[in-house]
Amino acid sequence: MERVYVFDTTLRDGEQSPGAAMSLEQKLEIAHQLSRLGVDIIEAGFPISSPHQFNACRRIAQEVKGPIIAALARTTPQDIESAAEAIAPAERGRIHVFIATSPLHMKYKLEKDPDTVLEMAIEGVKRARNFCPDVEFSPEDGTRSELDFLCRVVEKVIDAGATTINIPDTVGYAVPGEFGDFIYKIKNRVPNIDKAVISVHCHNDLGLGVANTLSAIKNGARQVEVTINGIGERAGNAALEELIMSLYVRKDLLPYTTNINTTQIYNSSRLISNILGFPIPRNKPVVGENAFAHESGIHQHGVLKNRQTYEIMTPESVGRDSSNIVLGRHSGMHGFKKRLSELGLVLSDLEIKSAYKRFLEIADRKKEIFDDDLFSIISEELGKQQATYVLDYFNIISGNVSLPTATVRIKTEKESFEEAATGDGPVDAIFRAIDRAIKVSPILKEYTVQAVTPGKQALGEVSVVLEFDSCRCSGRGSSTDILEASARAYVNALNRYRLLCREPNGK
């Protein structure tokens, strides 16, 4: 079986989803989980785009061992030097250089002729090779590029030192047969292609990201660029969990192997979902709540007789086997830390103490704390590390014959703000009161509520997306009280805005 390398771009392309900005601590936690998952390359970010991006890339390069740590750069000297500096501490680093090659992009975005673009690509790769022996090159909008020109670019950048050639379907335009044929032609028309690994990066605008990637593998691609839960710009990217389990289940037609530990797939998916505040759709393949649920009587009968009648993979194969360990209010710090370790969650001593305090608060309200509760607690704690605002207090007066009124107190390091407001309902009143206290006026674009675990005492999880001018930030909060969870989510989104959208040179 031939090896396929997994290049995870959750922390770079995935973070470009509207509202998906993450703190440095959250990115580091995800990078550690990606290492446990077994990805070969972690694209840690785009260092030149902001100080936050640079610092996150460098911290990941310093602390995460195992995978190659990659950083994205345009062909400009400043981009490449920034990427090189960011990945310098890594055991193994990679600089990922890109420039657009389609007629549309060259004319309207770059405003440059093909010969100039070719020269920029060659010079960019040469410059990157001066800093790092592992250089990847991507011709942006590759699938809408003219094949003759694209093959010429690929040949020249390999001569210049590129070791991986990534062909991106940047706008999700291709269909599987066409894309597979495209990769086949590149492999057979570029004379020195044997000196580089062919990679593909497929967007999901037509829902074909995974299908296109599989077609490319069958035609010679040996690196795949994917994200957890398929997050990314617009409709997202090829989903790691769907692609990997396709290879796992259909070994008869797809005789390829990867380094992925499939039992870490579910933990990875839940961690990303909780940190970003992006709920996993119930019918999401592999990791959705309904992926292994059977309601039809005929299906239930078949599964009880033999699970293979209606399941092509087992819950255990993706890490969904239920734990017998249930924590409660009498669980000590030792048991709490042990379970976090078993779930692959890495925290500092200070973070563990803070998370344990929150755990005890929730345990006082519900009898049992499940693994999904722990993921929710931990992701919330990671988001606090650079918090500007803290929800100190809230009170609600509401009823079917009274005007909903909320009072909130928001604290910062130096002062506190208290305000009251009325609204169309208790949640609206809370949000208006917070706006008044902090003196902001974002637009609420999304508001989602779901139960983290079953039962009347379930931890409720609220996700919001707020829009500030051109910047969107998501937030999430959890509590057994859905109004408290709503307030926490709103404040969490405001903190992300302060941290990630108002810094100098921010994206």
Domain ranges of the chain: 2-276, 333-382, 390-501
Strand pairing partners for 42?
8, 69
Task: State the number of CA atoms in the 13 A half-sphere of 423 facing the CB.
Answer: 20
Which one, of 174, 175, 157, lies nearest residue 165 by Cα?
A: 157
Over the Cα atoms of the chain, what is R_g? 24
Task: Please give the pLDDT value at position 9.
Answer: 98
For 131, the token pair is: 């800093």
Yes or no: say if 191 and 155 are a contact pair by the CB < 8 Å rule.
Answer: yes
What is d(CA 404, CA 420) in angstroms, rounded to the nearest whole number? 11
E strand or H helix that includes residue 69? strand 68-73
Yes or no: say if 407 and 394 are a contact pair by the CB < 8 Å rule.
Answer: yes
Which one, of 54, 3, 50, 10, lies nearest residue 32 by Cα?
A: 10
Yes or no: say if 452 and 458 are a contact pair by the CB < 8 Å rule.
Answer: yes
Residue with token string 């959250």? 26
Strand pairing partners for 479?
460
Task: Please give the pLDDT value at position 503.
Answer: 46
Task: Please give the pLDDT value at position 350.
Answer: 83
Task: State the number of CA atoms in the 13 A half-sphere of 79 facing the CB.
Answer: 18
- CB neighbour list of residue 167: distance below 8 Å, 6 or more residues apart: 138, 139, 142, 143, 182, 183, 186, 198, 199, 200, 201, 216, 221
For 165, the token pair is: 């050639």
What is d(CA 45, CA 171) in angstroms, rounded to the nearest whole number? 20
Task: Please give the pLDDT value at position 323.
Answer: 47
What is d(CA 459, CA 440) in angstroms, rounded to the nearest whole number? 29
Task: Please give the pLDDT value at position 504.
Answer: 37
Which one, of 22, 25, 66, lies nearest residue 42 by Cα?
A: 66
- CB neighbour list of residue 502: distance below 8 Å, 6 or more residues apart: none
Determine how many CB atoms are found less than 10 A away from the CB of residue 502.
Answer: 11
Task: Please give the pLDDT value at position 506.
Answer: 33
Task: Please give the pLDDT value at position 291.
Answer: 83
Instruction: Show the DSSP H helices in 383-457 as ranges.
Output: 426-438
Yes or no: say if 112 and 106 are a contact pair by the CB < 8 Å rule.
Answer: yes
Contacts 24+ apart (CB under 8 A), 485-488: 485/449, 485/460, 485/461, 486/427, 486/430, 486/431, 486/447, 486/449, 486/462, 487/391, 487/394, 487/408, 487/430, 487/434, 488/380, 488/391, 488/462
Task: Please give the pLDDT value at position 192.
Answer: 98
Convert 99-114 into a string of H (helix), E (strand) and C (coil).
EECCHHHHHHHHCCCH
At residue 111, what is the residue type? E
Asked: is 390-501 a CATH 3.30.160.270 domain? The reply is: yes
Task: Please give the pLDDT value at position 462.
Answer: 92
What is d(CA 287, CA 271) in angstroms, rounded to the nearest whole number? 12
In angstroms, how far is CA 22 from the centroid of its own chain?
9
Task: Please give the pLDDT value at position 6.
Answer: 98
Q: Which fold would CATH assign to domain 2-276?
A: TIM Barrel (3.20.20)
- List, for the chain, all residue ranges whose pLDDT scores fall below the cut of 70: 293-305, 307, 310, 321-326, 383-386, 456, 500-507
Task: Please give the pLDDT value at position 507.
Answer: 28
Which one, of 250, 244, 246, lies nearest residue 224 by Cα?
A: 244
